[in-house]
Amino acid sequence: MEDYGYHAPVLPDETVSLLVTGPGIYIDGTLGGGGHSLLILEYLKTHFEGERSLLVGIDQDSHALDAAEKKLSAYRERTTFFRGNFSTVGDVSRTVLGGEGKALPVMGILLDLGVSSYQIDTPERGFSYLRNGPLDMRMDPDGPVSAADIVNGYEERALARVFRRYGEEPLGGRIAKALVAARDREPITTTGELAAVVKGACPRKDLAIKTLSRVYQALRIEVNDELGVLERALEDGFASLSPGGRMAVISYHSLEDRIVKKFFASLAAEDWGPKGLAIREPLAPAKALLVTKKPVLASPEEIERNPRSRSARLRVAQKL
C-alpha cells in the first residue's frame, strides 16, 4: 500500500530518546501516519527487550488510522488504536488500564500537533491555499463545523476576531470586511475563492502569502478548536501519567507553544505561599520536572531534509 504521503516524523531521535524511559504504556495522541509510533516501538524493542509494553494510537482522522495500522502491522500485539479527539486521552487511558494495559504504568504521552502532510497535500480536505478544493479544514472529517460554515456564517466582527486572535493577523478587520462583501454576492465555498478574496484585500501583494497562511492557520484553529482541545489534553494527559512518566509535545506555532510552556511551567513551580512566610517546605511541591528547559529545535540538516520541521518546538516534562 502506498504511504498516503506521510512524511518523516519531526525531531525523531530527540522525541523518542526524551520520551521513552522504560517499558509501559505509551500514548501517541496524534498518530498520523504512525512515524513516531514506529520509532517508539522500535526503541522499546531495542532497549527493553522482553518487557511488556503497549503503544496506544489516537487520531481523529480515519485515513490516518488506516495508514498507521498498516505501518505498525509488525507490532500488532503491542498496539491498540482509538479514533477520536486526543482531548479524550484521560478516557482512553482508563479504558486501556482496565483492559489490555492492566498493571502497566502509563510512561509516556506524545502530541505532535497540527495537520499531517497527508492532510495538507489532499486538496479535498481544504487545508491548503496552494491547491483548490472545498473549504473544509476539518481534521475529523465528520466534525460539526467546516471552514465554509465559518467564512459564510460568522458576523464580520467575529471573523476579524478569529483572524487576529488565532492568526495574529494585523489585517484581520480588513479581510473580514472583504469576505463579507464577497459572500453577499455569492457564498465562498472553495479554498481558491477564499485565497482570491484574501489576496485582493492585501495592500502589499508581496506580503499576501504571509497573510494567506495566517488566515488559513486562524480558520483551522477555529474549525478544530485546536487551542481548547490542547488545554484539555494537557490536563487530562498529565493526570493519566504514572509517576516518572513523561509528556512530550511538538508544536508548530507560538500560540500552541505558549500554552504548552505555561502549562509545564505551572507544573514545575513550587508554591511557597505569600512572600515572607517563614516555612521550610513549599505549601505545594512541584508536580513535574522540566526535562527540556528550553524547547528543542530541529537541526539545520533536518530542516533541509524535512522543511516541515522548521517551526517545530519540542517540550518534555516528567511527572514527579
Ligand X SMILES: C[S@@+](CC[C@H](N)C(=O)[O-])C[C@H]1O[C@@H](n2cnc3c(N)ncnc32)[C@H](O)[C@@H]1O
Q: Which of 58, 160, 221, 291 binds ligand X (CB under 6 A)?
A: 58
* Cell output for 65: 488510522
Q: Bridge partners of 28?
A: 57, 110
Q: Cβ of residue 33: shortest distance to ligand X, in angstroms?
A: 4
Element (H, E) at 18: helix 12-19
Q: Cβ of residue 309: shortest distance to ligand X, in angstroms?
A: 11
Q: Which of 11, 26, 54, 60 binds ligand X (CB under 6 A)?
A: 60
Q: Is 302 in the site for ligand X (CB under 6 A)?
A: no
Q: Cβ of residue 287: shortest distance to ligand X, in angstroms?
A: 24
Tell me whether residue 86 or residue 129 sits nearer to ligand X (CB atom): 86
Tell me whether residue 179 or residue 229 sits nearer to ligand X (CB atom): 229
Q: Is 32 in the site for ligand X (CB under 6 A)?
A: yes
Q: Kindly state the number of chain residues that form the binding site for ligand X, as judged by CB under 6 A.
A: 20
Tell me whether residue 61 or residue 236 sits nearer to ligand X (CB atom): 61
Q: At what angle do helices 226-240 and 254-268 cross, to 10 degrees?
A: 30
Q: Report d(CA 252, CA 63) in Å as an integer.
A: 22
Q: Which stretch binds ligand X (CB under 6 A): 57-65, 146-154, 180-188, 254-262?
A: 57-65
Tell me whether residue 211 or residue 309 sits nearer to ligand X (CB atom): 309
Contacts of ligand X in 75-114 (CB under 6 A): 85-86, 112, 114
Question: At a CB cut-off of 8 Å and minimum separation 6, what does 67 contact?
Answer: 1, 3, 4, 6, 33, 34, 118
Tell me whether residue 93 or residue 211 sits nearer to ligand X (CB atom): 93
Q: Cβ of residue 92: shortest distance to ligand X, in angstroms?
A: 10
Q: Which of 14, 61, 257, 302 binds ligand X (CB under 6 A)?
A: 61
Q: Which stretch binds ligand X (CB under 6 A): 30-38, 41-49, 204-212, 236-244?
A: 30-38
Tell me whether residue 60 or residue 93 sits nearer to ligand X (CB atom): 60
Q: Is 9 in the site for ligand X (CB under 6 A)?
A: yes
Q: Cβ of residue 279: shortest distance to ligand X, in angstroms?
A: 41
Q: Which of 16, 40, 54, 64 binds ligand X (CB under 6 A)?
A: 64
* DSSP one-letter code for 186: S
Choose among 59, 53, 69: nearest CA to 19: 53
* Secondary structure (DSSP) of 189-207: -BHHHHHHHHHHH-S-GGG
Q: Report d(CA 249, CA 226) in Å as an integer.
A: 14
Q: Which stretch binds ligand X (CB under 6 A): 59-67, 213-221, 263-271, 291-299?
A: 59-67
Helices (H), 122-253: 147-153, 156-167, 172-185, 191-201, 208-224, 226-240
Q: Which stretch binds ligand X (CB under 6 A): 31-39, 150-158, 162-170, 254-262?
A: 31-39
Structure-derived torsion over alpha carbons of residues 8, 11, 12, 16, reported in degrees to the nearest 10: -150
Q: Report d(CA 196, CA 173) in Å as an integer.
A: 17
Contacts of ligand X in 212-231 (CB under 6 A): 229
SS3 52: coil
On the 0-12 / 13-18 / 19+ scale of CB atoms within 10 A, 146 is buried
Euclidean distance between the first and the last CA atom of the chain, given in angstroms as a whole number? 43
Residue ranges in contact with ligand X by CB under 6 A: 6, 9, 30, 32-36, 58-61, 64, 85-86, 112, 114, 116, 139, 229
